[in-house]
């Protein structure tokens, strides 16, 4: 992979704060989530990324984050791309981590919450999500800001860097950093 990608996860939502699984469902940004978006926007300006094109998930929490980013930095053209939508988690959407652990112990025992992603019995599978991420990456020929989600970001990390899927899914995708993918590798830029 050679495309240069600046990946941003949407700001914290009420469901993130409550450890509730979102998937394709939405909840509003918290005060912290709005502040994370403001700080990230200022960081993009500091990095000299004003005017860079943006490819964003069409889901509401990303759109709310995008609007706040745009108040802090002049963004380039924005493309809404459903391939950057969060992983669909089926019947787990809206449940808390505790509720999932109680209802599906055999599926989640011994796995960190970050690694649960593709264990939902009626959710999307890793290979399907990786295929849509690969298709999106194949179209990226210039540097781009990608605004997306936690699980989708983990899949992007796996596809772009070659990190094994289980390792990529076990790691958090924080909301206070920018993930800079370049030359087949990745670095993490802490938002101030």
What three-state secondary structure class fits 56?
A: strand
Q: How far apart are CA 104 and CA 21, in angstroms?
A: 14
d(CA 124, CA 54): 25
* Helix/strand number for the chain, H first, E second: 8, 6
Residues 122 and 151 sit within 8 Å (Cβ to Cβ): no
**Among 179, 157, 178, residue whose Cα is nearest residue 169:** 157
Query: Where do runs of H (alpha helix) occur along the chain?
Result: 14-17, 31-46, 60-72, 97-103, 105-108, 126-138, 150-161, 165-170
- The residues annotated as belonging to the active site are 10, 86
Q: What token pair was written down for 182?
A: 């370049």
């Amino acid at each position: 992979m050679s495309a240069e990608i600046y990946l941003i996860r949407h700001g914290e939502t009420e469901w993130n704060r409550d450890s509730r699984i979102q998937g394709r469902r939405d909840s509003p940004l918290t005060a912290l989530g709005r502040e994370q978006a403001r700080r990230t926007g200022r960081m993009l300006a500091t990095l000299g990324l004003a005017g860079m094109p943006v490819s964003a998930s069409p889901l509401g929490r990303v759109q709310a984050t995008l609007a706040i980013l745009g108040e802090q930095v002049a963004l380039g053209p924005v493309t809404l791309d459903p391939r950057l939508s969060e992983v669909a988690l089926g019947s787990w959407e809206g449940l808390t981590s505790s509720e999932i652990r109680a209802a599906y112990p055999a599926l989640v025992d011994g796995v960190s919450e970050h690694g649960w992603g593709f264990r939902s019995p009626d959710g999307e599978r890793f290979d399907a999500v990786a295929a849509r991420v690969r298709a999106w990456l194949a179209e990226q020929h210039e540097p781009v800001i990608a605004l997306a989600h936690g699980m989708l970001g983990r899949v992007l990390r796996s596809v772009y860097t070659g990190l094994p899927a289980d390792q990529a899914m076990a790691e958090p995708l924080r909301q206070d950093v920018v993930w800079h993918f370049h030359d087949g590798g990745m670095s993490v830029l802490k938002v101030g």
